[in-house]
Structures are given as C-alpha cells and as structure tokens.
Chains A and B, each alone.
Chain A
Amino acid sequence: MNAPNKEVLLSLYRQMLVIRRCEEQLARSYQAGLIPGACHTYVGEEAIATGVCAHLRHEDAVFSTHRGHGHALAKGVPPRQVVAELYGKVTGCSQGRGGSMHLFSPEVGMMGTSGIVGPCILQAAGAGYSFKLLKTDNIGVAFFGDGAVNNGAFHEGLNLATIFNLPVLFVCENNQYATEVPFTYSSKNSEVANRAASYNLPGVAVDGNEVLAVYRVAGEAIERARKGGGPTLIECRTYRTRAHAEGMREAGYRSIEEIESWKARDPIPAFRKQLLARGYRAGELDRIDEEVKAQIQEAVEFAEQSPWPDPSTLMDHIYSHSGA
C-alpha cells in the first residue's frame, strides 16, 4: 500500500477533528438538556474510525455499535444530520427514530449502529455475503468494542466469514471496559487479535490511538478483502476518556491516573505533532480546526432550527408496502 499523500494526511487530521468537535458539542448539548436520550461519545478513539473509513467508499457497508457517532461521521454522514438525530429532529440521519444508538444513512453506506452488542459483526458478514454473491468488490465492516468479543455473535460471525471467505473487516475497538467491567476480568485471554487464530483468519493488533498505524493495517486488510482474500480481525487498543455515557459519573472502576495517562496519549495532538514534524505549518492545521468548529456550529444551529417529526408519521415504515 502506498504511503498516504498530503491530501490524505490532512483529511485524516480533519476527520478526527470533525469527530472530536462534534462529540464535544454533543456533550455540551447533553449537559444543556438538549439531547433527550443517551449519548455515548467516541472521544479518544477517533483515530480508529478515521483510519479505517479513509479506505472506504459509499458502496462499502459499515455496521456499528452503541458508540457509533465517530463511525457515522467518518463514513460520510454530515455532522448536521448526526447532531439533529440526537436532538430528535426530523432532519436527523434516522429522521428522529434512532438517537445516539441508532444512526442510519444507507445513502453513504452507514447501515446502522445498534443498541445491542454483537449484531453488527454478523450483519457485516452478511454484507460480505451479498457482495460476494453479487460479484462486486465492496466490503462489509463491523466496528465493535471489547465487550462484544465474549459474545456468541463474535465467534459465530468470524467463523461464518472465514468458511465463506467473505470480504469483511472486523474492527475491535478495545477500550478495555465493557461499560464498567474491565476486559481483564471478562476474559482469561487478554488479547483480542490472537482469537483470530481459532478461526484461521489474520488477526492484527494495532495502537488504536495512532491514526497512521490504523490507516496502514486497515488498508492492507481492505485491499486483501477486495481481492477475494477474505476477512481480517483488527484489534485497536484504545481508551475512551469520557464516561460510558454522558451523565454517568466515574464510579471508581478506573483510576484518575489511568484516565490522565490515556489523555496524554490523545490521538489528535499526537498526529498534529507528527504533521508538524513532517513540515506542515501550524497555521494550516489551525485553519482546519477553525473550519471544523464552524462546521459543527452550523450543525448545531441546523439541529436547533429543524422541525420535530410529525406524530402522524409514527406508524410509517414498519413494513415496506412492497405488495404483500
């Protein structure tokens, strides 16, 4: 795979900032009482969605989990549609039917985030099955946390993807806690990547706070999948630096020191440092941040001004009306 050029490097930086600024805004909106339901932020994990989705096109199908804002944004859902969705507005990507945990935008290949842990793994395998049967070179991608890997869906999905040699990427975002239960408690095998050996597919562990590392590993796996080389499991080691969900307190399941040590490994300043070392100018990077901030501000105004869904549409779309 070719090293990322300038355009790619700056778009990775911009994408991470879009996620970060959007999440920061959603946290503020939550605190202001503008988000009526749950809000699970992706702060600290931006490098993963960014590094993976940089290789995807709209026809590739992404399936995600309850912590899915970053995946939706990186797959191409405009921030205004994500913010509006969390506000419960009809202009949201799920037209107000979903909220934080149910983001849908099939137009850009965002096939949904889910409030249930595990199904995304199986559905990504199913997308792979479709793409193989339809003889396209599109791929299915599942994003899920460490909480999903002790679940049957993980094992059944990896097995199905390997026996059918499906074009799928399984991306485990190992942030070390399933809500508040440490991964070291949940499993005697402290690794995720090496579980791939059980099903005979490639398993790769990567620093999930290092966007170029994720970009490289994902790029290789995606290229292999597109060429008929089958699925890959990638374990991205990372950390969420905010609470499991906004409004939840840090209830003593992890130490302040631990949180601070990971904040010091924040993927965005780390990447900025790399860009500066490569000769990019601070002003250029600052300008990207200013543009992103304006974009998020516009998204919030859009959400605030958008209409509520019409209650008369409550029963729409339960069935397809396809003639049965």
Chain B
Amino acid sequence: MRELTFTAAAREALAEEMAQNPAIFVVGQGIGKRGGNFNTTTGLYDLYGQERLADVPISERGFVGMCAGAAMTGTRPVVDFMFLDFILDGFGELVNQVAKMQYMSSGRLKMPLLLRGCIGVGGSSATHHSGNYYPIFAHLPGFRVALPTNPYDAKGLLKTALRTDDPVLFLEHKSLLNTKGPVPEEEYTIPFGQAAVVRQGTAVTVVAFALMVRKTLEACEQLEKEGISVELIDPRTVAPLDVDTILESVRKTGRLLVVDETFGPCGMGSEVAAQIMEKGFDELDAPVRRVYGAHTPIPYSAPLEQAAVPQVPQIAQAIRDLVAE
C-alpha cells in the first residue's frame, strides 16, 4: 500500500470532499495561495479559488461567528486555526452559539462546521503555540472531537467530519504531521466513537491520546523484552468516547493506565477512570493509574518543555508499577 504523511492524508481528504461538495469552503490565515502554515491546503487554491479558500483577518471571534452563520444557512465551513491556541479568541461563539444551535432550534438548524488546528507540546513552541485543550471541548455537549494519531485515521476521520452535520474539532498533533503510514487509494471513512486497539496484550490496558499513542508504543517495545504484554487503545475521538472498547480490554487485563499529554485535573484520565470504575469496577485488579502533563503553562526552553509532558521512560515505569500492583 502507498504511504502518505499525516498532513498529505488529511489534505487528500479535504481535497476529495471539496471536489464532491461545492458548499465546503475554508477560512484561515495563509490558507489561500500560501497553502497553509502546516500545508493543510496546498494546491487547493488553484483548484477552487478565493471564495472557497478565503484568507481572513486575524479576528478569530469574527470568523468563527461568521462561519457559524454560514453553517446555519447551507454551506459547510472549515475553520483552519493553524495553531489551536487561537481558537480561544472565538470560544464564546463556539460554546454559546455553535455547540447549542442544533439543540436550541430543536434540530431544525444544522451546524456542519469543521474546526481544525494543530495541538501539542514540542519544538519549543512556547505557551501560546502548544495548547491541547481537547478535554474542554469534550466536556461540552454539542461538539465532536477527533484526535487522529496516524495518516490512515487522519484521512478517514476528516472525511467523516466533512460529512456530519455536527460541529467537529479535528486536532492534529504537531509532532505527528510528518509521520508516514499506509493510506489506501480506495474510498473509506472512519466513524466517530470507535477506538482502535493499536496493540494487543494481556497484562495491562493502556489508553493513550494523540502523540502519547506513539510514545506508549515505544514503551511497549521495551516492555515486551521484559515480558510485559501491553494492550494499547487509541480512542481516536474523545467525543464521543468509546468506553466499551476500553471496558472490553480491561475485562481481559484487569489493569488500566491512561496516558495523556495534557493536564490531569478534570482531564481525559479522570474521565476514563471514572467511567471504568462506574461500569467495570469488578473487572479491576488494581486502581486505575494516570500519567499526564504537568499542570503548568508550557515553557519554551527544551529541558523545561520536556519536563512538562510524559516521556517514554516515565510511561514505561508507570506500566511496570501498575503490573506489579
């Protein structure tokens, strides 16, 4: 099978859907002729022109609100935030308008709005270009939140996002953008709310999000040599969250670790742990454990930055400790 980068796979999904659906348009800074800071729209301007690849002024609240109105009136906007951190200037429009519009209109208005942006800590991006923020959106009713971790999922999830009538956050970890993987030529989509079992194992279940899937895989290879068999689950979407697949795995292993790059309090680890305790307490042979990022703004300097997020040795040790409990 051919291999594509994460970015190329996502771009192919957008290009295919734009060819199929003339109501799709993209707004963002530098997404027109320039093709996007992260090459999200490279080549599309020449195909679809300025109205469908519209550079916008740096006024996030403005263009988020504008795209909300467009989504309510027959088109399908894609807001490309470049760095997801910039979404926060449009947060009120998203929470009070976008997320609630279908409900408040009793389902008579649709909100087919795609919000995409790069997330994640790395590359000394510093505190305003390192945000993750997905647990905040997963907390709110009305949003779908996709966290692809490989090129295949990036394409399949983006296609689904461009066909649903719900507002979707499609979040791309910066450290995954240039990773390569197999992507079939044939048409496919990946439904939301279906986790992937990335690696089968028997001793412990690890649920990891975004870049942490790759870091945990590295840890698993090391642990394999030590005779520890890890089952690794990538939820792929955090809203909806596929609790059933996690529960199924915990029935087999009896142990659960959640690995997340972002903050612990009120985070994905808290949510997964609570749900598994509610639905599968009797399956657990040990307390649910969490590994998560430091509860701090993200610093610039490399040693500080690395200390802020889980690293492979820390994940491996947490797994060893849990298996020994």
Contacts and interface: CB of A to CB of B under 8 A. Distances in A.
Nearest to B64: A122
Nearest to B237: A324
Given A133-B52, A319-B142, A123 B105 contact: no
Contacts of B163: 322-324
A156 interface: yes
Contact of A318 (B57, B103, B110, B165): B103
A129 B23 contact: no
B77 to A, nearest CB: 8
Contacts of B67: 126, 129
A185 B265 CA distance: 42
A149 to B, nearest CB: 14
A159 interface: yes
A319 B143 CA distance: 8
Contacts, number: 171
Contacts of B166: 319-320, 322, 324
Contact of A126 (B61, B73, B108, B164): B73
A254 B67 CA distance: 39
Interface in B91-121: 92-93, 96-97, 101-111
Interface stretch (A104-112, A222-230, A257-265): A104-112
Interface stretch (A11-19, A94-102, A189-197): A94-102
A134 B108 contact: no
Interface in A64-116: 94-95, 97-98, 102, 104, 106-107, 111-112, 114-116
Contacts of A125: 62, 65-66, 69
Given A130-B73, A159-B57, A322-B163, A119 B62 contact: no
Given A119-B68, A127-B73, A133 B25 contact: yes
A123 B110 contact: no
Interface string A124-151: 1111111111100000100000000000
A140 B69 contact: yes
A234 interface: no
B218 interface: no
A119 B96 CA distance: 9
Contacts of B65: 118-119, 121-123, 125-126, 153, 156-157
B56 interface: yes
A156 B65 CA distance: 10
Given A114-B97, A125-B66, A130-B70, A317 B144 contact: no
Contact of A317 (B51, B71, B73, B102): B102
Nearest to B239: A319
Question: Can you list the 3 inter-chain pairs with the closest CB atoms, starting with the nearest?
Answer: A126-B69, A122-B65, A156-B62
A130 B142 CA distance: 22
Please tell me the size bucket of the interface on B: 35 or more
Contacts of B102: 317-320
Interface string B176-218: 0000000000000001100000000000000000000000000
Contact of A129 (B64, B70, B105, B164): B70
Contacts of A126: 65-73, 77
Interface string B44-70: 000000011010110101111111111
Interface of A: 61, 63, 94-95, 97-98, 102, 104, 106-107, 111-112, 114-116, 118-119, 121-134, 140, 152-153, 156-157, 159-160, 163-164, 316-320, 322-324
7 contacts: A119-B68, A119-B97, A123-B68, A126-B68, A126-B73, A319-B144, A320-B166
Contacts of B93: 119, 122
A94 B192 CA distance: 29
Nearest to A118: B65
Contact of B73 (A61, A94, A159): A61
B74 interface: yes
Nearest to A63: B69
A123 B52 CA distance: 18
A312 to B, nearest CB: 14
Nearest to A122: B65
B313 interface: no
Contacts of B97: 114, 116, 119, 123
Contact of A153 (B51, B62, B101, B104): B62
Contacts of B57: 156, 159-160, 163
Contacts of B105: 94, 104, 106, 112, 317
Given A97-B104, A160-B66, A320 B73 contact: no
Nearest to B65: A122
Contacts of A319: 102, 142, 144, 166
Contacts of A122: 61-62, 64-66, 68-69, 93
B106 A127 contact: no
B160 interface: yes
B109 to A, nearest CB: 5
Contacts of A129: 25, 66-67, 69-70, 75, 77
Given A127-B70, A134-B23, A157 B104 contact: no
Nearest to B157: A324
B69 A94 contact: no
A111 B109 contact: yes
Nearest to B191: A324
B73 A97 contact: no
B141 interface: yes
A102 B63 CA distance: 22
Contacts of A61: 69, 72-73
